[in-house]
Chain A
Amino acid sequence: MILFNHVSKRHPGGFEALREVSFELARGEMAYLTGHSGAGKSTVLRLIALLEHASFGQIAVNGQSLSGITRRGLPKLRRSIGMVFQNHKLLHDRTVFDNVALPLVIAGLSRDDTERRVHAALDKVGLLSKERAYPVTLSGGEQQRVGIARAVVHKPPLLLADEPTGNLDPELSREVMALFQEFNQFGVSVLVATHDLELIRHLPHRTLTLKDGQLVADSPTP
């Protein structure tokens, strides 16, 4: 699902965010990407979603090389990826329902289909009762779950999460990770960037460890 082949990323200032990173995430696989802040976790995710371009090396997502994607093809790539952000990136002038519906509106689904799918996604994250609420009235954990519902509502084959538990207490963090595992059990490929080693220590998935932009450990599924 994701293939990194000797990928390096050098920023204009000369700072090297990634050095010779190679790994492959199989279709339907789930993995954690860990490392200290600044180790390059976010850069890996940003390269996958083409928020940045690699300086060297090749990246393929879903069998397609990213170097061949033009500006016109970019939206299609991003529609095949569900993304969860540490700061949620919700729209605060819209209800929970409208936030979650956004990917479906972009895809041009009918009103009925949109409603059905948004309800299913909100039900999954346990927020069906809050669909008319505005994000500011929700707790941090609830906002994050709205963000997750939005990331999966259009059923992307790949789910990326950048520090999804960064602002949550341990119990909420475990709930969020459990959600990701559930999605993975139904075939979604999942890559979660997190620095919370304590949280993932007991979770049964592959862990990729970055240090100073290099992949230093790739522990397979226990």
Chain B
Amino acid sequence: MISFFKRRRSGATPRSRTSGPAPVVTRAAATRAPTARRSAASLSLRAYIAQHAQAFTYSLGQLWRAPAATLMTAAVIGIALALPTALYLVLEHAQQVSAGWKGGAQITLFLKHEVSDEAARTLAVRLRAWPALTGVSAISRTEALEEFRRLSGLGAALDALDENPLPAVLVLHLAPEHDGMAQEYSGRLLAKVRALPEVDLAEFDEQWLKRLRAIMAVIERAVQLLALLLAAAVLFIVGNTLRLAVQGRSDEIEVSKLIGASDAFIRRPFLYSGMWYGALGGVCAWVMVSLALRLLNGPVQRLAALYQSDFSLSGLSFTLTLLLVSAGAILGLLGAWLSVGRHLANIEPA
């Protein structure tokens, strides 16, 4: 008994000092109050850090003790995070590919079949004199055939043909002042070259590039919306998982409240759990996306090889991985925050 109560002096608050008769205690407490308050303040900071460390490891231990349930929740979160990540990567790769294509204003003239290389060169010289054009490059039928043979990989098929099926091509480079602006002017220019007797087909090169970029912008916006939707899904998944966790530990919460645990103290391990769930979900997403990339890379490289490209899928960068895991952690924490406080309030000691 004595040994138990003697220790009182070391850590107890002044109020709880009760050795000896009551009046003496009051006086003793009063004289010691200032130092006691100081040590209480330093204790509370130490206690705060200790409690965080405790909640940090305790919540991790809780998840560790139920690995199947934890993995299942993390996998669901992982799928929700992997979807927008994968779509983002597709977009990024598409942008990488299309960035290689020049977007400058060009008109490609496909000349009629019967126009000889000689006539094509003469036309090119004539067109170079036009003030709206800064240059004209000519691709003769032979050159076109060579290029096609090189890029298409259909050399054997071409050899089977009796004659060259490709027309001569002139590429007109528009002067910068006509680039993009003055639609009407460039439209007139297009009409003018189309009227030339040697010309079979004339197209603005940038038009389809513009369309492609517009399509990609639409897809990009859709991916952003999807990411937003799936982020909300992560909030709900974590919130619901922790609602069940709170219910499962209502005894513990009730007893803790009875013996003076603050709401923050009770909430803390659940918030950490939410963070762990989210971060683990991020890791799951990383695994899924990396695996998918690895599986896709072979076929994509074979496809690229057919186009004489050494294009290959790049994996998730370190920054993107970090972003993915921390986004998961933040969403998990937020989901826990939104759910746990509400459900804790419902558990009161009776």
Contacts and interface: CB of A to CB of B under 8 A. Distances in A.
A109 B47 contact: yes
A62 B8 CA distance: 18
A20 interface: no
Contact of B1 (A27, A79, A186): A186
B262 A187 contact: no
A155 B10 CA distance: 11
A42 B347 CA distance: 20
Interface string B46-68: 11101100100000000000000
Given A108-B51, A182-B1, A91 B255 contact: yes
A107 interface: yes
A120 B11 contact: no
Contact of A102 (B18, B21, B256, B349): B256
B18 A108 contact: no
| Interface residues on chain B, size class | 35 or more
Contacts of B255: 89-91, 102
A53 interface: no
A88 B260 CA distance: 16
A106 B259 contact: yes
A52 to B, nearest CB: 10
B5 interface: yes
Contact of B46 (A110, A116, A182, A188): A110
A77 B261 CA distance: 10
Interface in A81-116: 81, 83, 89-92, 102-103, 105-110, 113, 116
Contacts of B147: none
Given A120-B7, A155-B12, A187 B259 contact: no
Interface in A124-149: 124
Interface string A44-62: 0000010100000000001
Contact of A120 (B4, B25, B26, B251): B4
B3 interface: yes
B350 A108 contact: no
B99 interface: no
A139 to B, nearest CB: 21
Given A26-B22, A91-B251, A187-B20, A107 B47 contact: yes
B265 interface: yes
B19 interface: yes
Given A28-B22, A120-B3, A187-B20, A62 B15 contact: yes
B18 A187 contact: yes
A110 B25 CA distance: 26
Given A106-B259, A106-B261, A155-B12, A186 B19 contact: yes
A79 B40 CA distance: 15
23 contacts: A28-B22, A49-B258, A51-B258, A76-B260, A79-B260, A89-B258, A102-B256, A103-B260, A109-B47, A109-B50, A117-B7, A117-B11, A120-B3, A123-B3, A155-B5, A155-B8, A156-B16, A157-B16, A157-B18, A182-B1, A186-B5, A187-B5, A187-B25
The 8 A-B pairs at the shortest CB distance, nearest first, are namely: A108-B47, A187-B18, A79-B260, A78-B260, A28-B22, A27-B22, A75-B262, A120-B4
Interface of A: 26-28, 49, 51, 62, 71-72, 75-81, 83, 89-92, 102-103, 105-110, 113, 116-117, 120-121, 123-124, 150, 154-157, 182, 186-188
